Structures are given as structure tokens and as C-alpha cells.
A = this chain, B = another copy of it.
């Protein structure tokens, strides 16, 4: 992601807000009303000062002596992140991964809705995932353009990912979540984030003790 476009709030701080939001939602589900930066930090493995500072960039939503009202903070963070509305998302690729994403029900109450899924395999097209039907890749441009789709998730085989991204970019999309294990080349104003479990696994492996060395 080539981000730091914004005025002056560190991208890395913005990146933590979704984690705060996620944790706050769980607290709310446990019928909690108030939380301190210390408790929130402990749950997330983050220092309390960092949380206060991050929230402070956006005005500070807490009460001295008390902490943060969970409902209020959730509401404010959703507004800051622009997820108080519902973004329409297109998924490209309806294989194992694309279909798992499309069937996942967790998007909606966090600000997103998968509204379209595309694939180029004839046996896939027409399949129903919950409320949506798999469309042909031939319809990609028409659907993305006509609906002013801003976010796409790419879940196609790695050798098709760049071509698919190029097609989406031409349609005016602004942001891509790429599940294919390849760095995409896109114009500077397009936001790209990557989800590649193997990157995480390889990162972790560095810190693991090799069994043989242990013995």
C-alpha cells in the first residue's frame, strides 16, 4: 500500500483502528459498557499510551478518570474509518478461496457487502452463493463500471492476478485486496493490500526452533 496520502495521521495508526474496533465489538458482546486504554491494550498486546495517542489523533473519545464508553467509541471509529456505511465489494475468482470469501457472513456488520462474484469457468458461472450468483468474467467491466465499484478482492490463480487487476483498474476501482501470492503493478493512486498466509508462515518460521537443533 502506498499510503501516507493523508494530511498527517500516520498510516500505521489508522491501521490499528480496525483492531480496536474488533476488540471493542467483542467487549460490547460481553455487555461491557466502559473500557480503559490499559485494558484494551492488554487484550491486544499494545501499550496503553499508544492507544490513547492513536485515538487522540481523531479528537480523543474518552473521559478522564473513567475511560472510553464502548458504544460511543465504536460509533466514532466506524465513522472515522468510513464503515458506518456499507461498501459494495466484488470478488473475482470463485474457486475454493473465492467461494469461501463470498459465502462468509462476517462482512456485513463490519461495513462491507460482497455483491458480485466473477469467474471464467463455465461450470462455476451461475452457481449461487447465498444471495449472489457467480457471473461470467465477460461481464466484469460492465458491472464494475455501471455500479462504480470501488473495492475488489482478487482470488484467482497467481498467473491471472495481474491481468485481472489491470482490467479492474481500467474500470475505475480504487482499492484491491489481493489473495494471489504476487505483487501487483498498479497506478500509484490505487490502494493494494495483500493477504498471503505463506508470508506469515515464513515470517513465523524464522523464529521457530528447528526440531533437529533442539535435540
- What copy number does this chain have within its complex? 2
Q: Which residues on B sit within 8 Å (CB–CB) of A148?
A: 211
Which one of B45, B182, B193, B198 lies within 8 Å of A112 (CB-CB)? B198
Q: Is the CB of A175 within 8 A of B208?
A: yes
Which one of B21, B101, B209 lies within 8 Å of A197 (CB-CB)? B101
- Complex Cα gap A17–B202 (Å): 8
- Of residues A22, A85, A182, A204, which shows the largest number of chain B Cβ atoms within 10 Å of its Cβ? A204
Q: Report A195-210 residues with CB < 8 Å from chain B CB.
A: 195-210
Q: How far is the CB of A129 from chain B (nearest CB, A)?
A: 9
- Complex Cα gap A210–B79 (Å): 11
Chain B, Cβ-Cβ closest to A188: B45
Q: Is the CB of A195 within 8 A of B193?
A: no
Q: Which residues on B sit within 8 Å (CB–CB) of A21?
A: 202
In the complex, whether A87 has a CB less than 8 A from a CB of chain B is: yes
**Given known A-B contacts A197-B153, A201-B112, A201-B177, A43 and B183 have beta carbons under 8 A apart:** yes
Q: Is the CB of B100 within 8 A of A202?
A: no
